[in-house]
């Protein structure tokens, strides 16, 4: 069995940055990622795209990832692409399946850098073919580089929705319309937060403002203050009905709708280990309870990047480095690069997070995201509607009991799609705060696993 | 929380605790049931939910046959059929030597006067399971056996218990039992109750409750694992096990494949924690795949480990305490208690209410385990 000093789950900005610091300092590092190439979500496919027109269209921040990916490739860390981690035992025994089959790794420490997932935001009709998330659409842009042939409608809230629209337009795609689901923020509060942020991060702010301006000019339509959505159609998306805060209801025809309501830390692995989490009201999301190094309630596990709380790519780099520095400290090593000091990393991290309170406030999801109406499917795998779940919510039942009663969360997505909504429904029904409600307990495997891949492990134990 | 009085306290809100509570209220008793966690949290929801009379220890065959009849009448008992599907249970022989072992078992059953198990040849086996691997040579079948849906079963029993007026207290652990005038004081982490009788249905924690009344017994626990796959097309109805390996394999009514068979994972009784040991579980996956090669690419979506009490002879503990009058036991089902759920609670409720049961429960006496 392989026994590295450090196993890193995720080869995005955080995972790669940590790997570089740790491997250069002489640690034996293994990095596992399910994608075929390094880069994570933001820099997906960067090696293939850099220097091409597609790369340029995806933007400067995208192209900036190439340097990190190259350094990562050369840093000496063992990198297993196309490999999924599907179980981490509390003793750190880690089960992975990749092109070489299934194996078990026994590291001394684990760094979880699994990034973010898009916030599942159920609305009526969201399971219709033709409705997809902005994140999934962006993967298509980066990978085979396919630009949707038809004009697309986008409905959403959050920097990623704006960035996608911007990238799509630069690649020659057409935004038929943008339904902005961002609730309007009180002007004074916005200005205050923006003012504070502008002092330190005016460039980023200007970039965001220019994306908005571009949308105004280039999107066929721009509709602000959308509070409710309904995808129309029987077997395939045919249109969208939406309602604005002012109560106006309109319908548009489209066969493609991209939706996005922000991102959440990907906590599946963290939670399967029973690590403590807390409700972050500012980000309207659960996040792990961490110290300033990214150490969690499990003594030998650290968490960095968006999995530690949404902070974006630059913050992820510095959180990854800080966690790596802590790991070096714990294993009695020092960083190879003299400038890689705690002080420098903290200063850079603080700078990267300047804009965050502003972004969190401005892009706070609308209330309807947490309170789907009765008819909305909440659990896609088991096709359960909010009504079915609420009916089972008599007395004081927790998420796990509700799961047993209704099968919500038992399907192949393992509760990733409905977990947060179920917790929100429970909180609403019982008049409790989200911080008092526990989401579903996570059961392994963390990723669906083919039966033969598990069976393969039996041969391995026989031979070893 | 207010403490109170009842005629009987049931410790443990698994299926056996619920079933006994139901039988007690039906016999006119006031019942309060304490569950440390939430109803069904332990073995009763972790279970593979096989309704199996096949291959049981001769000492419990009579009980299991009687319980099986009740599975066919579940609707009348709790207002729901609990998802029971009678597709049969088959023990598969993978070699001629194994087939001989099945034949010997068959002969033994005949000698004891039991007729629920039947030998089948390779052709009949393939008729019942067209996908089964070529190398399987035959089997032993109990055609009236089957499997149920554990969550529906728990929900149905819970509704029935509450519908009859028993009080269920979740999130309350019983810490001690103290003799009191005319019965027992049940000390919980949320006050004390005074009762005449106590039913110990604490599952894996049954021996802890025994210790509360000075009964020290030989007792261990099992941490059995199960995994379930994505849904696939309905392909067969029986539940399969094998002679030579730890495997139980079935397709649920939802279409998922459920693989278990008593493969052991990790568990900690004190902390109530369990862990899945995928190295061990891999053997179950390998066995399932060898029996049904077509399933190799099906995705596993969930695996878990459930805790259950285990006695040295793998028979349950049913009946009055050997040391403390007014205390009754229902625990230690050693991995096969689901099938017995509709019967055992009634037996103990009869013992409590009428002082005896019409079933012979001598083999399950706790006295055999006293140290
Ligand atoms: C993985 C697995 C697969 C199985 N497959 C099958 C099968 O296919 N067929 C079959 O027939 N059987 C099967 N079984 C066995 C069957 O599930 C059990 O025999 C049955 O569910 C036991 O029910 P119970 O009520 O005795 O125990 P449990 O359901 O464990 O209930 C005991 C309860 O007591 C509570 N408790 C304990 N101590 C205290 C206290 N001090 N105060 C308050 N509450 C307390 C616990 O929290 C627990 O909820 C399986 C078991 C497992 C674990």
Using one digit for the tens of pLDDT, what is the confidence trace for B109-123?
999 999 999 999 999
Rounded distance, CA A308 to CA A287, Å?
A: 6
Assess whether A326 and A254 both reside in one domain: no
Tokens at residue A111, please? Answer: 């760094």
- Both tokens of residue A310? 């949404």
Q: Which residues of A touch B288 (CB under 8 A)?
A: 451, 455
Q: Can you tell me which atom of ligand 1 is nearest the CA of B15?
A: 25
Q: Which CATH number fits domain B8-48+151-215+313-369: 3.40.50.410, 3.50.50.60, 3.30.460.80, 3.60.20.30?
A: 3.50.50.60
In this structure, is residue A322 part of a structural domain? yes
Regarding the beta carbon of B339 and ligand 1, being less than 6 Å apart is answered: yes
**In CATH, what number is assigned to the domain containing residue A176?**
3.50.50.60
Could you tell me which of B339, B131, B336 has the C-alpha nearest to residue B238? Answer: B131
| CA atoms within 13 Å, Cβ hemisphere of A252 | 21
Q: Is the pLDDT of residue A194 over 70?
A: yes
- pLDDT tier, A191 (very low <50, low <70, confident <90, very high otherwise): confident
Q: What is the CATH number of the domain that holds A390?
A: 1.10.10
Query: For the stretch B14-27, what's the b/e string if a residue is b when 16 or more beta carbons lie within 10 angstroms of its beta carbon?
Result: bbbbbbbbbbbbbe
Whether B276 and B265 have beta carbons less than 8 Å apart is answered as yes
Segments of chain B with pLDDT less than 50: 1-2
Q: What is the mean pLDDT of chain A?
A: 93
Indicate whether A199 pLDDT > 90: no
Domain stop point among A226, A261, A296: A261
Ligand 1 centroid–CA B365 distance in Å is 19
Q: Are residues A248 and A296 in the same domain?
A: no
Among the three residues A208, A237, A261, which one is the final residue of a domain in this structure?
Answer: A261
The answer on A149 and A233 residing in a single domain is: yes
- In degrees, rounded to 5, the angle at the alpha carbon of residue B95 between the alpha carbons of residues B89 and B100 is 75
With b meaning 16 or more CB within 10 Å and e meaning fewer, what string describes B305-337? bbbbbbbeebbbbbbbbbebebbbbbbbbbbbb
Q: How far is A107 from chain B (nearest CA, A)?
A: 17
Write the pLDDT tens digit of every residue in A123-160: 999 999 999 999 999 999 987 767 888 999 999 999 99
Q: Which atom of ligand 1 is nearest to the CA of B330?
A: 26
The protein residue with its alpha carbon nearest to ligand 1, atom 51, reads B47
Distance from the alpha carbon of residue A446 to the mean position of ligand 1, in angstroms: 26
Contact B300 A451 (CB under 8 A): yes
**Mutate which: B261, B289, B302, vs A, most A CBs within 10 A:** B302
Of B286, B298, B302, the CB nearest to A410: B302
**Rounded to whole angstroms, how far apart are CA atoms B150 and B164?**
21
Confidence at residue B326, expressed as pLDDT on a 0 to 100 scale: 97
Residues A144 and A108 reside in one and the same domain = no
Q: B76-82: long-range contacts at Cβ-Cβ below 8 A with a sequence spacing of 24 or more?
A: B77/B160, B77/B342, B78/B22, B78/B156, B78/B157, B78/B159, B78/B160, B79/B156, B79/B159, B79/B160, B80/B152, B80/B155, B80/B156, B80/B159, B82/B148, B82/B149, B82/B152, B82/B153, B82/B156
Which residue has the CA at smallest separation from atom 4 of ligand 1?
Answer: B47
Could you tell me whether strands B256-260 and B248-251 are parallel, antiparallel, or unpaired per DSSP bridges? Answer: antiparallel
Provide the ipTM: 0.92
- Whether the CB-CB separation of B114 and B61 falls below 8 Å is answered with yes
Output the pLDDT for position A460.
66
Q: Is residue A459 situated within a structural domain?
A: no
Are A185 and A238 found together in one domain?
yes
The closest alpha carbon to B166, from B22, B20, B336, B313, belongs to: B22
Residue nearest to atom 50 of ligand 1 (CA): B47
Are the beta carbons of A89 and B275 separated by less than 8 Å?
yes
A303 backbone dihedrals φ, ψ, rounded to 5°: -135, 130
Pick from B246, B237, B210, B225: which is nearest to B322 by CA?
Answer: B210
Nearest to B246 by CA among B280, B211, B197: B280
Query: Are the CB atoms for A17 and A316 separated by under 8 Å?
Result: yes
More confidently predicted of B365 and A54? B365
Q: Ligand 1: which residue has its CA nearest to atom 19? A: B337
The CA distance from B132 to the nearest CA of chain A, in Å, is: 16
Q: How far apart are CA B35 and CA B14, in angstroms?
A: 8
Tell me the β-bridge partners of B91.
Answer: B140, B241
Same domain, A188 and A90: no
Question: How many angstroms separate the CA atoms of A115 and A18, rounded?
Answer: 14
Q: Which of B279, B300, B303 sits opposite A461 (nearest CB)?
A: B279
Residue A420 forms part of a structural domain = yes
> pLDDT at position B1, please?
34
d(CA B23, CA B27): 6
Q: Specify the number of domains making up chain A.
A: 3
- Report d(CA A230, CA A241) in Å as an integer: 5
Please answer yes or no on whether A407 and B151 come within 8 Å at the CB atom.
yes
Rounded CA gap, B294 and A312, in Å? 44
Q: Which of A261, A286, A318 is the last residue of a domain?
A: A261
The answer, yes or no, to whether residue A395 has pLDDT greater than 80, is: no
Q: Looking at domain B89-143+220-310, which CATH architecture does it have?
A: 2-Layer Sandwich (3.30)
Q: What is the pLDDT of residue A273?
A: 94
Contact call for A411 and B285, based on CB within 8 A = no
Q: Per-residue pLDDT averaged across A67-85, rounded? A: 98
Q: How far is CA A424 from CA A181, A411, B81, B364, in A?
A: 19, 19, 32, 47
Instruction: Give dist(CA A42, CA A163) in Å, integer.
Output: 11
Position A452 in a domain: no
DSSP, res B294? G
Instruction: From chain A, pick out residues whose CB is under 8 angstroms from the CB of B230.
Output: 411-412, 448
Q: Provide the token pair at A73.
A: 């490739």
Q: Is B33 in the pocket of ligand 1 (CB under 6 A)?
A: no
Tell me if A286 is assigned to some domain: yes
Residues of A in contact with B255 (CB under 8 A): none
Give CA–CA dist A455/A457, Å, rounded: 5
In this structure, is residue A87 part of a structural domain?
A: yes
Per the CB < 8 Å rule, is B288 touching A451? yes
Q: Are B180 and B326 in contact (CB under 8 A)?
A: no
Pairing, β A94-98 against β A84-88: antiparallel
Does a cis peptide bond (omega within 30 degrees of 0) precede residue A445? yes
Nearest CA in chain A to B46: A404
Q: What is the pLDDT of residues A302-328, one digit of tens each?
A: 999 999 999 999 999 999 999 999 999
Structural domain contains residue A35: yes
Indicate where chain B has its CATH 3.50.50.60 domain(s): 8-48+151-215+313-369
Identify whether the C-beta of residue A68 lies closer than 8 Å to the C-beta of residue A13.
yes
Every domain range in chain B assigned CATH 3.30.9.10: 89-143+220-310
Q: Is B276 left (phi over 0), alpha (psi -120 to 50) or beta?
A: beta
> Which of B39, B40, B303 minimises the CB distance to A445?
B303
Q: Is the CB of B348 under 6 A from ligand 1?
A: no
Residues A212 and A256 grouped into a single domain: yes
A457–B278 C-beta distance less than 8 A: yes
Q: Which of B155, B283, B295 lies nearest to residue A451, judging by beta carbons? A: B295
A129 and A247 both lie in a single domain: yes
Per-residue pLDDT at A464 = 46
State how far residue B155 is from chain A, nearest Cα, in angstroms.
Answer: 7
Domain residues for the domain of A56 are 6-117+264-337
**Residue A231's pLDDT band (boundaries 50, 70, 90)?**
very high
Q: Which atom of ligand 1 is nearest to the CA of B18?
A: 25
Q: Are residues A125 and A108 in the same domain?
A: no
Distance, CA of A373 to CA of B288 (rounded, Å)? 43
- Whole-number pLDDT of residue A397: 72
Is A101 part of the contact surface with chain B (CB cutoff 8 Å)? no
Show residues of chain B in contact with A458, CB under 8 Å: 279, 282-283, 285-286
A331 vs B328: CA distance, rounded Å: 55
pLDDT score of A204:
82
A280 and A163 fall within a common domain: no
A131 and A78 fall within a common domain: no
CB B153 within 8 A of CB B82: yes
The predicted pLDDT at position A461 comes to 57
In a domain, A360, yes or no: no
User: Strand (E) positions, B40-81?
Assistant: 50-51
> Tell me, what's the pLDDT at A152?
95
Q: Are residues A93 and A22 in the same domain?
A: yes
Are A450 and B151 within 8 A, CB to CB?
A: no
């Amino acid at each position: 069995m392989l026994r590295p000093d450090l196993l890193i789950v995720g080869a995005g900005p955080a995972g790669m940055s940590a790997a570089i610091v740790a491997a250069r300092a002489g640690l034996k590092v293994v990095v596992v990622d399910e994608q075929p190439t390094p880069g994570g979500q933001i820099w997906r496919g960067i090696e293939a795209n850099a220097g091409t027109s597609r790369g340029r269209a995806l933007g400067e921040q995208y192209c900036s990832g190439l340097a990190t990916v190259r350094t990562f490739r050369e840093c000496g860390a063992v990198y297993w692409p196309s490999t999924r981690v599907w179980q981490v035992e509390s003793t750190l025994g880690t089960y992975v399946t990749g092109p070489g089959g299934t194996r078990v790794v026994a590291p001394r420490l684990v760094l979880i850098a699994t990034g973010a997932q898009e916030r599942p935001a159920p609305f009526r009709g969201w399971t219709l073919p033709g409705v997809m998330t902005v994140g999934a659409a962006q993967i298509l842009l980066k990978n085979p580089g396919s630009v949707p042939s038809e004009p697309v409608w986008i409905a959403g809230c959050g920097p990623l929705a704006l960035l996608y629209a911007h990238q799509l337009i630069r690649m020659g795609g057409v935004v038929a319309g943008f339904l902005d689901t961002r609730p309007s923020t009180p002007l004074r509060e916005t200005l205050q937060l923006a003012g504070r942020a502008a002092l330190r991060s005016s460039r980023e702010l200007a970039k965001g403002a220019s994306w908005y301006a571009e949308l105004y000019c280039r999107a066929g339509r721009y509709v602000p203050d959308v509070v409710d959505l309904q995808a129309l159609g029987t077997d395939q998306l045919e249109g969208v009905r939406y309602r604005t805060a002012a109560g106006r209801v309109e319908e548009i025809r489209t066969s493609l709708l991209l939706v996005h309501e922000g991102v959440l830390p990907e906590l599946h692995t963290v939670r399967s280990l029973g690590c403590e989490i807390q409700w972050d009201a500012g980000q309207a999301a659960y996040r792990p309870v961490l110290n300033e190094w990214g150490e969690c309630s499990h003594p030998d596990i650290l968490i960095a990047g968006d999995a530690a709380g949404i902070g974006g790519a630059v913050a992820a780099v510095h959180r990854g480095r800080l966690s790596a520095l802590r790991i070096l400290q714990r294993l009695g090593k020092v960083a190879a690069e003299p400038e890689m000091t705690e002080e420098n990393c903290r200063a850079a991290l603080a700078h990267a997070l300047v804009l965050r309170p502003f972004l969190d406030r401005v892009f706070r999801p609308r209330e309807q995201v947490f309170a789907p109406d009765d008819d909305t499917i909440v659990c896609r795998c088991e096709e359960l509607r909010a009504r079915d779940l609420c009916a089972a919510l008599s007395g004081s039942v927790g998420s796990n009991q509700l799961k047993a009663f209704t099968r919500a969360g038992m399907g192949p997505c393992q509760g990733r799609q409905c977990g947060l909504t179920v917790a929100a429904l429970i909180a609403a029904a019982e008049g409790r705060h989200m911080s008092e409600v526990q989401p579903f307990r996570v059961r392994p495997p963390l990723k669906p696993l083919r039966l033969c891949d598990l069976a393969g492990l039996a041969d391995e134990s026989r031979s070893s | 929380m207010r403490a109170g009085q009842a005629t009987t306290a049931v410790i443990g809100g698994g299926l056996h605790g619920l079933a006994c509570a139901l039988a007690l209220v039906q016999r006119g008793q006031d019942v309060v049931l304490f569950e440390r966690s939430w109803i069904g949290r332990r073995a009763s929801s972790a279970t593979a939910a096989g309704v199996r009379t096949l291959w049981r220890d001769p000492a419990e065959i009579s009980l299991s046959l009687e319980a099986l009849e009740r599975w066919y009448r579940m609707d009348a008992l709790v207002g729901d059929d609990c998802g029971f599907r009678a597709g049969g249970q088959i023990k598969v022989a993978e070699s001629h030597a194994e087939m001989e072992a099945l034949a010997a078992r068959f002969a033994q059953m005949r000698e004891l006067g039991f007729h629920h198990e039947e030998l089948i040849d390779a052709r009949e086996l393939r008729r019942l399971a067209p996908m089964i691997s070529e190398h399987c040579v035959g089997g032993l079948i109990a055609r009236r056996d089957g499997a149920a849906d554990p969550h529906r079963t728990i929900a149905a029993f819970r509704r029935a218990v509450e519908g009859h007026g028993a009080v269920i207290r979740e999130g309350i652990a019983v810490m001690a039992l103290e003799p009191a005038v005319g019965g027992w004081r049940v000390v919980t982490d949320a006050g004390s109750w005074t009762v005449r009788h106590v039913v110990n249905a604490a599952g894996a924690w049954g021996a802890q409750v025994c210790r509360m009344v000075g009964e020290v017994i030989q007792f261990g626990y099992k941490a059995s694992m199960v995994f379930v796959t994505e849904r696939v097309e309905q392909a067969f109805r029986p539940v399969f096990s094998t002679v030579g390996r730890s495997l139980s394999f079935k397709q649920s009514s939802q279409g998922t494949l459920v693989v278990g068979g008593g493969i052991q994972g990790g568990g900690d009784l004190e902390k109530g924690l369990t862990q899945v040991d995928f190295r061990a579980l891999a053997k179950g996956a390998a066995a399932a795949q060898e029996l049904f090669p077509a399933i190799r690419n099906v995705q596993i979506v969930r695996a878990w480990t459930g805790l259950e009490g285990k006695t040295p002879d793998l028979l349950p503990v049913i009946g009055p305490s050997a040391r403390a009058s007014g205390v009754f036991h229902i625990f230690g089902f050693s991995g096969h208690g689901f099938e017995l759920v509709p019967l055992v609670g009634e037996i103990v409720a009869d013992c409590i209410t009428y002082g005896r049961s019409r079933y012979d429960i001598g083999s399950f006496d706790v006295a055999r385990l006293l140290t």
